[in-house]
Structure 1
Amino acid sequence: MSINASTICYSHNHTPSHLDIVPVCVYSIILIVGSMFNIVALLVFFNSARSRSHTIIYMINLAIADLLLILTLPLRIIYHLGYDILSQRLCDMLGLVLKANIYSSIYLLMCICCDRCLAVTLPMSSRVQEGRKKAPLICLGIWMLTFGASMPIYFSKQIKEDQHHCFDSLPVFATHPMVVYPTLFLGFGIPMVLMLICSWFLVRAVRRSTVAQSNLVDSSKISKMIATSLLVFLISFLPYHTTLLLVSLHRENIPCPLLGAYRHSLMIACCNTVLDPVAYYFTTDTFRRNVDVDVGAVWRMLPLNSQSSDRRSRAPDES
């Protein structure tokens, strides 16, 4: 089984008090930057209650999913610093939260893309508009699905005291075919296909619209927004699921480089918590305007800036 390969790679590459500098640096950057970005995103979303659309509801839940994932990173950083003090059960529970929030993010990104597509391509359909109003229920269903599907896998796992490698050992969902293939198909394959289809329909609808042809709307800018959202999704999750498939195919004898690629692809997937807020800013006009207003208000409150503004306001009078 893959656990043996994981144990061999662990024993070759680690000492009892090992320090993995790459995971420490990557997870620390994600922790700091991702926390700031997502907290700002939530503050902006909640402060703009009047302009809260159905898409914003998905974005709020996406920011919450990102923050929940980020909350698992401090213990990962502690472990990779060389403090092997975490129980295997706690490591598995942290892996459960991380996995559930990765797939919550995937489904929420898919919902954002589909919601935009329906709003643009079928704006006059009463059924579509009624369906879009069910965004809170859809978000609740996503949370129940992702956590509900993950918990039985971890609670059924038998932990052996002599196999305590915490985050260096492969999770059960990366080695069991009955778990891997449904995860790849339902958790990544279907959302990716739907996002590609919706993105194509969005670009097609924008380019064919009479408003875009009359130069009242910058269709190239909208196309770039759509491409940005799709690119964030593919960069974040395609490497991870590709290596997950390769690991499952070589589960009887996994090469150590493949295990290393799996762990690095997991770091890339966690980087989605930083990329999501960037996508909010560049693809949502309301979010960008509110950020500009809030940042401007904070800037004006700074003592040095307030003194310079007072001088500018007094300058015409003095002259």
Structure 2
Amino acid sequence: MDSEEESRTEMYDYSEDDGMCNMKSNHEKLLTIQTCLYSFIFALGLLGNILVLATYAFYRKAKNMTDIFLVNVALADLLFVLALPLIIYNENYSWSMGTWACKLLSGTYSINLYSSMLLLACISGDRYVAIVKARNSFGIRKKAQIYSRLICSIIWLLAISLSIPTLIYYKVIELENLNGETEETVCFFKYNTTETAKVMKILLPSTQVSVGFFVPLLVMGFCYISILLTLLRAQNYQRHKAVRVVLAVVIVFILCHLPYNVLLLVHTKNLFAPRPCKEEQNILFALNVTKIVAYLHCCINPILYAFIGVKFRNHFCKIMEDLWCLGKRYFTSGRYSQQTSELYIPAHKSSFEVDHENPSSFSM
């Protein structure tokens, strides 16, 4: 079996009852769902992550480990969000932009997956030290903060390394129908040999599920369970409010990522076994839908990890206040153009006031 036939078997499979089974039967329905949800994720994710980055750039500097990790999470999510319009376009127009777009966009998702998940695990670790090990946390976190940028660099390098197979093997493939005519052009894995295909079809999803989900889930589970137990013992109203924050973080993470990763494991397990046509069609459709649900996490992250914190919300309100003032002064300056420079200087100064506090934006 050559590489093109090997790739085609992902879209078409044999079934004892039905002969050739078309794995693209739900394509039009899926395309409609994808376009609507991708557009929503793009709009909300772009706004949220830009506001996070703008807040750190102009209103508060990244002063501790959690802040540095949050900036990198926002960068990773923004990278993927900016790729979504191109993904929508190519999905609707049969990857007319060619192989480079196929590799770049698929690689972008892979890099975002690994980097954001590992960074969220790092945030949970930092919160664990700050709350559970509060008595010794200052010295530990002070030393760790020196290496926080190094940790982020290592995570980005690891994410890029783990995404190399995606960049290599994702290609634009022309699918043919039973008459040998080109039916559709898709962006999918294409392997050089059958042996490579067998290895990669197991290795890639296994790596994605383990490194991109289960390792962060285990770290977050241990850290946040310990945090919850510590907070519940504290006789403090603010601490008990923080319990709801922690529960929201964990529940949203599980709801977004667990369905897709469980289905991916099931699909990988049954990959080389005979499957009924209808069952295979349903699991591929479910995989694509749950993958979109997993994408939602990149626009929920700013809400959970940034805006839910009191200090960060105050900075966000400051942004809105300064934008409102700048807008009013801009329109006023249109009527009194000779006062333009005088009107702009005070707003500029108020926008860049230094924050002398040093709490985490994901404060408990």
Q: TM-score range by the shorter chain?
A: 0.7 to 0.9
Shift of 1:247: 1.7
Q: How far apart are residue 10 of structure 1 and its match?
A: 5.0
For 2:246, the aligned partner's letter is: I
> What residue number does 1:20 align with?
31
Distance 1:19 1:282, change over 3 A: closer
Cα distance in 1, alignment partners of residues 24 and 295 from structure 2 = 26
**Equivalent of residue 267 in structure 1, options 288, 292, 298:** 292
Q: Does 1:151 align with 2:171?
A: no
- 1:128 deviates by 4.5
- Structure 2 residue aligned with 1:176, among 201, 204, 208? 201
TM-score by length of 1: 0.82
Pick from 242, 246, 252: which aligns with 1:222? 242
1: CA distance, partners of 2:59 / 2:325: 20
1:232 aligns with 2:237: no
Aligned-partner Cα distance in 1 for 2:58–2:198: 39
Q: Please tell me whether the aligned partners of residues 58 and 112 of structure 1 are also in contact (alpha carbons under 8 angstroms).
A: yes
- C-alpha distance in 1 between matches for 2:36 and 2:190: 21
Compute the displacement of 1:26 (Å). 0.7
Cα drift, residue 239 of structure 1: 1.8
Instruction: Provide the residue aligned with 2:339 in structure 1.
Output: none
The residue correspondences of 1:1-319 to structure 2 (distance < 5 A) are 3-7=8-12, 8-14=21-27, 20-50=31-61, 52-125=63-136, 126-155=139-168, 157=169, 159=171, 161-163=173-175, 165-167=185-187, 176-208=201-233, 212-213=234-235, 215=236, 217-252=237-272, 255-303=280-328
Task: Check the 8 A contact 1:96/1:154 in 2, yes or no.
Answer: yes
What residue in structure 2 maps to residue 312 of structure 1? none
Give 1:241 shift: 1.0
Q: Distance in 1 between matches of 2:82 and 2:54?
A: 18
Q: What is the aligned partner in structure 1 of residue 342 from structure 2?
A: none
Q: Distance in 1 between matches of 2:171 and 2:149?
A: 37
Q: Which residue of 1 aligns with 2:354?
A: none
Q: Hey, what's the Cα distance between the residues in 2 that align with 1:299 and 1:194?
A: 42
Superposition deviation, residue 122 in structure 1: 2.0
Offset of residue 183 of structure 1: 2.9
**Counterparts of 2:288 and 2:107 in 1: how far apart (Å)?**
16
Deviation at 1:12, TM superposition (A): 3.3
From the superposition, tell whether residues 192 and 173 of structure 1 become closer, same or farther in structure 2 (CA, over 3 Å).
Answer: farther
Q: CA deviation at 1:114?
A: 0.9
Change (3 A) 1:258 1:303: same
> Aligned pair count?
298
Matched letter for residue 22 of structure 1: I
Residues 1:201 and 1:160: Cα distance change in structure 2 (over 3 Å): closer
TM-superposed CA distance for 1:240, in Å, is 1.8
Identity %: 24
Q: Which has the higher strand share?
A: 2
Gap change, CA 1:50 and 1:82, over 3 Å in 2: closer
Distance (Å, rounded) in 1 between the aligned partners of 2:189 and 2:23: 8
CA distance in 2, matches of 1:182, 1:279: 27
- Describe the shift of the 1:226–1:44 C-alpha distance in structure 2 as closer, same or farther (beyond 3 A): same
Q: For 1:240 and 1:39, locate their aligned partners in 2 and report how far apart those are by CA, in whole Å.
A: 27
Secondary structure of the residue aligned to 1:52 is coil
Of 263-272 and 181-190, the range deviating more from structure 2: 181-190
**Partner amino acid, structure 2, of 1:107:** L
User: Aligned partner of 1:279: which letter?
Assistant: L
Structure 1, unpaired ranges of 5+: 308-319
Kept in 2, the 8 Å contact 1:173–1:180? The answer is no
Structure 2's unaligned 5+ residue stretches are 1-5, 13-20, 176-183, 192-196, 333-364
TM-score for the superposition, normalised by structure 2: 0.73
Q: Deviations over 1:205-258 (max 9, x none)?
A: 2233xxx42x4x422211011112212321222122112112211223560111
- Partners of 1:51 and 1:3 lie apart in 2 by 48
Deviations, residues 105-157 of structure 1 (Å, cap 9, x unaligned): 111111111111111122343345312432111111110001112114532x2
Structure index of larger Rg: 2
Tell me the SS of whatever aligns to 1:294: helix
Is the CA contact 2:256–2:296 (under 8 Å) kept in the aligned structure 1?
A: yes
Q: What are the superposed Cα offsets for residues 149-173 of structure 1, whole Å, 9 maximum, x if unpaired? A: 2114532x28585447434779989
The change in CA–CA distance for 1:84 and 1:158 in structure 2 (over 3 A counts) is closer
Moved more, 194-203 or 71-80: 71-80
Counterparts in 2 of 1:167 and 1:240: CA distance versus 1, 3 Å: farther
Contact 2:172–2:185 at 8 Å: present in 1 too? no
Q: Could you tell me whether the CA contact under 8 Å between 2:110 and 2:166 is conserved in 1?
A: no
